[in-house]
A and B are shown apart, each in its own frame.
Chain A
């Protein structure tokens, strides 16, 4: 087992009475694209600043490449950061911005020039070397910031909300560009973001944070399909949550639906008795004008229908006024549903997650 690139061991950090990071442990591998995802104020930015060395942990230890980072100032860490505001030096040209880190390393002028030229090519900004940052567009600034952070060849690149300041079209393009650069250079990237789509599209592994703690770490698919807590289920994507009771029976514990949908199926192993929530993604819901063949089923009236291009979303109002969301790809064949239709909605227990509430 080789040493991971980054090893964070039960690190905590508080500001005043706010516990920004609470007993967090995680590892990042060499060459990995890692994402820290969470709502604002969840401590993800603090965790990144702890890695960069701008903050010191109250307790716990951080190792980068096997070396304890305690007492190592930011300017001696093999880590570079791309700031959310880009933080380009306004009084320096693009080339001098990119070469700043190389100058600090004491490289000879000629080598700095060569490497700056290489980096300008990498981010497709050849010929922009003599411009000033205020003469660049948002997307160009973002690429200069990336090149500047990559220049000293860090072992780990930290990216703070790298796409937040870009408009929608540019964001997707830049997202793929970042992935290419990361793959070509083999440098580990850690992206901090509040945007789940961004994290899921780019990262090999995602750590979802809430209130200073890590809720779940895994790849995009497992975080989306197998949420381990209610928070993860609700934070990532859309989801229907049904109230349920877990009760003991002769054949082991069972999940019994309370509310608009009737269901009863065997509980997954290890669930304690008591209240629970059954989480089902809208695209896993089955909807029909006739009775469905699902083990869980209820009846309602379509209250709203939204056509979103790639998918359609229906909101079905159940007998007790609760809303169930159902979605379906518009390319799929099937019955036509409209507002006011009386329909049956249901799900297959295999596509549901039972979560303690």
Chain B
């Protein structure tokens, strides 16, 4: 089918992309603004990036966010691997449907409610809110996404590869280490990156579960904006967009590799 692309098609496309990306493009553009006024263009400058490096509060939040994202990403990938393994390999065990429903529900539950529930829970068990409560909160959501990604990979995994390894003398443990894990590795890496990204830009869960001294970057940005927008916020946001974009690209290629990998 060779349909002609008319002017109205292009117009719709441009409008669609404009709707999605003009605000972000403006934000990036103004991060290079020489003027202090956010809405007035005063020429190109990287001055706000320079000032950013002097802002210790902001930098410490960046550091906290990165550590939270790394840890919750790693926990999500590990727990997601275990959950996906149980779903795919344990057969039709009792309560499997409930198990998978419970696994996936934090994905669709409103974040405000998850955050509130976690807050009440931490208070109830007397756990002081701080760095680790944010990590736990992000892991609860991150592992759902991780499970979805790894589940897909494991479900299409050719079991005869494992049988072949055992047939050739590999014990079940060796088989898992030398065959199952390497073939699933791209999906696990992708799951990690996905959970990392989700953690990095989360605001709602963090604001419910963070304590003093564990203010994440999105929380810091929000609180600073309330006191007036500084172009530094544009700069740090631009850096965040870049980081997330890089992560998603790596995740995309990690998942994409699986398309060519399976034994045909």
Chain A positions within 8 Å of B, measured between CB atoms, are 52, 54, 73-76, 79-81, 83, 85-91, 100-101, 104-105, 133-134, 148-149, 151-152
A101 with B263: in contact, given A74-B163, A85-B160, A91-B182 (CB under 8 Å)?
Answer: no
Assembled-state Cα–Cα distance A85/B263 (Å): 8
Main secondary structure of the interface of B (DSSP, over half): helix
Q: Which residues of chain A come closer than 8 Å to B264, judged between CB atoms?
A: 134
Name which residue of chain A comes closest to B179, CB basis: A89
Asked if residues A81 and B169 are in contact (CB atoms below 8 Å), the reply is: no
Beyond the given A81-B163, A83-B163, A90-B263, could you list 4 further A-B residue pairs with CB under 8 A, ordered by the A residue number? A75-B167, A81-B167, A90-B261, A134-B260
Contact among A83, A86, A104 for B169, CB-based, below 8 A? A104
CA distance A134 to B178 in the complex (A): 18
Task: Take A87-B158, A104-B174 as given contacts and tell me if A74 and B263 are in contact as well, using a CB distance cutoff of 8 Å.
Answer: no
Would you call B165 an interface residue if the criterion is a C-beta within 8 Å of the partner chain's C-beta atoms? yes
**Is there contact, CB below 8 Å, between A152 and B262?**
no
A-B contact pairs, 25 of them (CB 8 A): A52-B167, A54-B163, A54-B167, A73-B166, A74-B163, A74-B166, A75-B167, A75-B168, A75-B169, A80-B168, A81-B163, A81-B167, A85-B158, A85-B263, A87-B160, A89-B165, A90-B161, A90-B183, A90-B262, A91-B183, A101-B169, A149-B167, A149-B168, A151-B168, A152-B168
Contacts of A80 in B (CB 8 A): 167-168
How far apart are the CA atoms of A87 and B158 in the complex, in Å?
8
Contact of B164 among A73, A81, A151 (CB under 8 A): A81
Q: Is B170 among interface residues, defined by CB-CB distance under 8 A?
A: yes
Pick the 3 closest A-B CB pairs, nearest first.
A104-B169, A101-B168, A87-B164
Residues on A with C-beta less than 8 A from B163 are: 52, 54, 74, 81, 83, 87
Is the pair B171, A75 in contact by a Cβ cutoff of 8 Å? yes
Q: In the complex, are the beta carbons of A152 and B161 less than 8 A apart?
A: no
A91, A105, A152: residue with the most chain B Cβ atoms closer than 10 Å: A91
Partner of A100, one of B165, B183, B260, B261: B165
Chain A residues near B182 (CB-CB < 8 A)? 91
Question: Which of chain A's residues have a CB closer than 8 A to the CB of B174?
Answer: 104
Q: Are A89 and B161 in contact (CB under 8 A)?
A: yes
Contact partner of A104 among B158, B170, B261, CB < 8 A?
Answer: B170
Q: Which residues of B contact A (CB under 8 A)?
A: 158, 160-161, 163-171, 174, 178-179, 182-183, 260-264
- What residues of A have a CB within 8 angstroms of the CB of B178 in the complex? 100
Provide the bound-state CA to CA distance between A52 and B164, in Å. Answer: 10
B169 contact set on A, CB distance < 8 A? 75-76, 101, 104-105, 152
User: Whole-angstrom distance between the alpha carbons of A75 and B264 in the complex?
Assistant: 24
Q: How far is the CA of A88 from the CA of B165 in the complex (A)?
A: 9
Q: Closest CB of chain B to A144's CB: distance in Å?
A: 11
**Contacts of A151 on B, CB cut-off 8 Å?**
168
* Interface pair B165/A133, CB less than 8 Å apart: no
Q: List chain A residues, Cβ under 8 A from B160.
A: 83, 85, 87
- Which among B161, B163, B164, B179 has the highest number of chain A CB atoms within 10 Å? B164
Minimal Cβ-Cβ distance residue in A for B159: A87
What residues of chain B lie closer than 8 Å to A152, measured between beta carbons?
168-169
Contact across chains for B165 and A86 when beta carbons are under 8 A apart: no
Which residues on the A side are within 8 Å of B262 (C-beta)? Answer: 90
Known contacts A85-B158, A87-B160, A90-B263, A100 near B168 by CB under 8 Å: yes
Contacts of B164 in A (CB 8 A): 81, 83, 87, 89, 148
Q: How far is the CB of A55 from chain B (nearest CB, A)?
A: 11
Chain B positions within 8 Å of A101 at CB level? 168-169
A157 vs chain B, min Cβ distance (A): 11
| Most-contacted residue by chain B among A54, A76, A89 (CB, 10 A) | A89
Select the residue from A73, A75, A88 with max chain B CB neighbours within 10 A.
A75
Residue of B nearest to A104 (CB): B169
Q: Once the chains are docked, how many angstroms separate the CA of A89 from the CA of B179?
A: 7
Query: Which single residue of chain A is at the shortest CB-CB distance from B258?
Result: A90
Question: Which listed residue, A88, A104, A148, A149, touches B263 by the CB 8 Å rule?
Answer: A88
Given A83-B163, A85-B160, check contact A91 B261 (CB 8 Å). Answer: yes
Rounded to whole angstroms, the CA-CA distance of A100 and B177 in the bound complex is: 13
Chain A residues with Cβ below 8 Å from B166 are 73-75
Question: Is A133 touching B167 in the complex (CB atoms < 8 A)?
Answer: no
Chain B nearest CB from A93 CB (Å) reads 13
Whether the Cβ atoms of A74 and B183 lie closer than 8 Å is no
Minimum C-beta distance from B178 to chain A (A): 8
- The interface residues of chain B lying within 8 Å CB-to-CB of A73 are 166
User: Complex formed: what's the CA distance from A81 to B163 in Å?
Assistant: 9
The docked-state distance in angstroms from the alpha carbon of A86 to that of B262 is 12
**Inside 8 A of A83's CB, which chain B residues have their CB?**
160, 163-164
Residue of chain A at shortest CB distance from B263 = A90
Bound CA span A91–B169, Å? 18
Q: Residue on B with the closest CB to A76?
A: B169
In the assembled complex, which residues on chain B have CB atoms less than 8 Å from the CB atom of A104? 168-170, 174
In the bound complex, residues from chain B placing their C-beta under 8 Å from that of A148 are 164, 168
Bound complex: CA A6 to CA B263 (Å): 31
Q: Assess the A87–B263 pair: CB atoms within 8 A.
A: yes
With A104-B174, A133-B263 in contact, do A87 and B161 touch (Cβ < 8 Å)? yes
A62 CB to nearest chain B CB (Å): 16
Q: Which of B158, B163, B179, B263 has the most CB of A within 10 A?
A: B263
- Please name the residue on chain B nearest to A86 by beta carbon: B263
A residues near B183, Cβ cutoff 8 Å: 89-91
